Amino acid sequence: MSEARDTYPLRIDSVERRLPLFAIEPGLSIAVLNILGDTELVEAAATGLCRRIAGLDPDLIVTPEAKSIPLAHAMSVQSGHPYVVLRKSYKSYMGDALQSRTVSITTGSTQTLYLDEKDRRLLAGRRVLLVDDVVSTGSTLEGMRSLMEQAHAEVVGVAAICTEGEQAMDDVIALAHLPLFRT
């Protein structure tokens, strides 16, 4: 039997979760928010974020693959704004896709975000809201912003369920903040 894992409490509206702590490097752990399959949490977060972004009036929601897709979908249903997914691998049917590199805090490796040719045309000249589950180092956001600039889209805001880390992220609309855990 495995040893009990430390957790960190998260509350979004009336929904409570205990997030497991995982080491990402020696002496540093993060509370992992995984919303895949957690419809109750996704719906509560989408409702909270849609209330907070109401004045931004985006044309579209843009999210990176994969964990934040359910959030973008729920926000799309609730707000009526369609959403676009930035992919993390290129497929030939994506055509003349734009790309931008990022570094993920959870994997520690370089990733590439791709904007599909059809979505590229959809975003040109439009107002977009960038959505992610957790914003930590800002690397994914930088990659997303780069793609929006390349696609000639205007970023009107950034929303996430949680921000994470020690730096202030005043430009991110978030429902909670997750600290880093140093040992």
pLDDT in tens, the chain (183 residues): 566 789 999 999 999 999 999 998 899 999 999 999 999 999 999 999 999 998 999 999 999 998 999 999 999 999 999 999 999 989 999 999 999 988 765 556 788 999 999 999 899 999 999 999 999 888 899 999 999 999 999 999 999 999 998 877 889 999 999 999 998
Specify burial of residue 89 (Cβ count, 10 A radius: 0-12, 13-18, 19+).
exposed
Is 55 a member of any domain?
A: yes
- Which residues form the domain of 56? 37-177
Is 31 a member of any domain?
A: no
Is 15 a member of any domain?
A: no
**Who's near 176: CB < 8 A, 6+ residues apart?**
10, 11, 12, 161, 162, 163
Q: What CATH number corresponds to the domain at position 74?
A: 3.40.50.2020
Is 18 a member of any domain?
A: no
> In the chain, how many domains are there?
1
